[in-house]
């Protein structure tokens, strides 16, 4: 397969707004895309990106003779060296179980572990450190809440779920509904693939018990106005949960400003390790959750007659925790607090706009829910070609994208799709990545169409 030459303009253009329907088909000429000019190649931006990129060893490899072009960060991010070093340091020098032990290794391990809880309190701007619960990921965090709220929910209660939600923010609520007789109602999207706020307000008149939202769509990159949506839900007395898995690596978060009862995310989406997640919960409500897991670590007193559970946060963290992963997460937080400056956030936004404009100009490309304020993700298909075929051919040129339903089958069904391709960026992505991807897609188009 011949790789086409990469375009190398110093400035790019993109549309300021997207007024198309939920499926947008690009046109062969870029001349229609002229409203706003974005500069991606300033020496300062390139220097800052190169400094960030140098910290990610996985990016400096060749795949079948091509340098890796990693555009699958929404599935999992690559890890900076400081995260790898923090975990190696723990295993090499401080490896011991946390809490209760009298020896120095355990004391050091416990100090490092609990320090990350303090970091997260500050990172999320939570009021209390006890509001931070460690889990194994976003999925477990949502399951902790859905199971823990069982006693709060009765037959006939309504649970509203964002129609663009990840399966992790759908299935646990369905299981809660099975246990309690509650009723699931999806919050529909409008014709542009944004959450339909008017329909949402109408559904809120039913006074739902729980409202489950996503901050940023993992499949489309569309951003929900979560503070506004949560405020509307709270006026109706609803318990609110926000899935922040796709927001946490890109946005500066303030859970008190959002106002939600629960906010959840995973470490591996924010340059940390796999196997670690976070549940933030407003203390008064978090303290009422029944524990999903029971056993060691979460108890105060045990006898064969009865068990008394401990207090937060331990009560919701049964068993030996993922200590090294928590420490790695702490390093990832430090990395983000150092590197995710407003300038870097603006650069990421420009990259998404550039990617959208280049795909529009390519011709025969369908974009889904593409807006200027999307975060991290562009969803597309090449004409009527199967998304998996496109992904495999891109991989043969060193380009990594995600293909499939993206754990969002209801969303794909609403778009009348079996799946699509998804290119997603991270803090290390640069304009060369986008140009290489577009050039590779041109060669795929030439082969298939």
d(CA 125, CA 103): 33
158-162 vs 402-404, strand pairing mode: unpaired
Q: Which of 323, 326, 327, 293 minimizes the C-alpha distance to 310?
A: 293
Reported residue count of the chain is 449
The three-state (H, E, C) secondary structure of 390-434, written as one string = HHHHHHCCCEECEEECCCCHHHHHHCCCCCEEEEECCCCCCHHHH
Close Cβ partners of 442 (under 8 Å, ≥ 6 residues apart): 4, 362
Q: Cis (ω within 30 of 0) for the bond into 313? A: yes
Q: Token match 């008149």: residue? A: 205
d(CA 135, CA 186): 26
Give how far the C-alpha of residue 366 lies from the chain's centroid of Cα atoms, to the nearest Å.
23
d(CA 236, CA 203): 10
State the angle between helix axes of 387-395 and 431-448 in degrees (0 to 180), rounded to the nearest 10.
120
d(CA 246, CA 265): 8
State the DSSP string of 83-131. HHHHHHHIIIII----SS--SHHHHHHHHHHHHHHHHHHHHHT-S-GGG
Active site residues: 407
Contact 145, 281 (CB under 8 A): yes
Q: Token match 């355990």: residue? A: 106
State the angle between helix axes of 171-180 and 138-148 in degrees (0 to 180), rounded to the nearest 10.
20
Contact 326, 90 (CB under 8 A): no
């Amino acid at each position: 397969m011949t790789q086409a030459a990469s375009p190398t303009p110093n400035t790019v253009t993109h549309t300021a707004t997207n007024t198309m329907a939920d499926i947008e088909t690009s046109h062969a000429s870029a001349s229609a895309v002229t409203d706003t000019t974005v500069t991606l190649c300033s020496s300062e931006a390139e220097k800052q990106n190169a400094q960030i990129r140098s910290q990610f060893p996985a990016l400096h490899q060749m795949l079948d003779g091509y340098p890796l072009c990693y555009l699958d960060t929404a599935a999992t991010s690559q890890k900076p060296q400081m995260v790898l070093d923090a975990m190696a340091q723990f295993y090499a020098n401080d490896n011991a179980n946390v809490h209760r032990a009298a020896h120095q290794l355990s004391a050091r391990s416990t100090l490092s572990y609990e320090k990350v809880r303090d970091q997260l309190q500050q990172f999320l701007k939570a009021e209390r450190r006890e509001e931070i619960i460690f889990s194994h990921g976003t999925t477990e965090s949502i399951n902790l809440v859905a199971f823990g709220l069982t006693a709060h929910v009765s037959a006939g209660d309504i649970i509203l779920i964002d129609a663009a939600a990840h399966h992790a923010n759908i299935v646990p609520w369905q299981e809660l509904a099975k246990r309690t007789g509650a009723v699931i109602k999806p919050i529909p999207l409008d014709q542009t693939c944004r959450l339909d706020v008017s329909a949402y307000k109408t559904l809120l008149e039913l006074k739902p018990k729980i409202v489950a939202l996503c901050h940023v769509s993992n499949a489309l990159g569309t951003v929900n106005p979560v503070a506004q949506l949560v405020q509307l839900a709270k006026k109706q007395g609803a318990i609110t949960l926000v899935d922040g898995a796709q927001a946490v690596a890109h946005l500066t978060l303030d859970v008190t400003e959002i106002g939600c009862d629960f906010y959840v995310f995973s470490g591996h989406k924010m340059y940390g390790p796999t196997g670690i997640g976070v549940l933030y919960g407003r203390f008064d409500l978090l303290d009422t959750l029944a524990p999903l897991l029971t056993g060691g670590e979460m108890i105060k007193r045990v006898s064969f007659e009865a068990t008394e559970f401990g207090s937060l946060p331990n009560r919701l963290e049964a068993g030996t925790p993922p200590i090294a992963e928590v420490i790695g997460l702490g390093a990832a937080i430090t990395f983000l607090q150092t590197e995710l400056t407003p300038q870097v956030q603006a650069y990421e936004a420009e990259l998404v706009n550039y990617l959208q404009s280049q795909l529009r100009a390519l011709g025969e490309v369908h974009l889904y829910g593409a807006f200027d304020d999307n975060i991290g993700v562009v969803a597309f298909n090449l004409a009527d070609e199967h998304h998996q075929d496109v992904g495999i051919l891109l991989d043969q040129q060193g380009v990594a994208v995600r293909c499939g339903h993206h754990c969002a089958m209801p969303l794909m069904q609403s778009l009348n799709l079996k799946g699509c391709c998804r290119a997603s960026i991270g803090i290390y992505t640069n304009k060369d990545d986008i140009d290489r991807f577009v050039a590779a897609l041109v060669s795929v188009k030439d082969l298939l169409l």
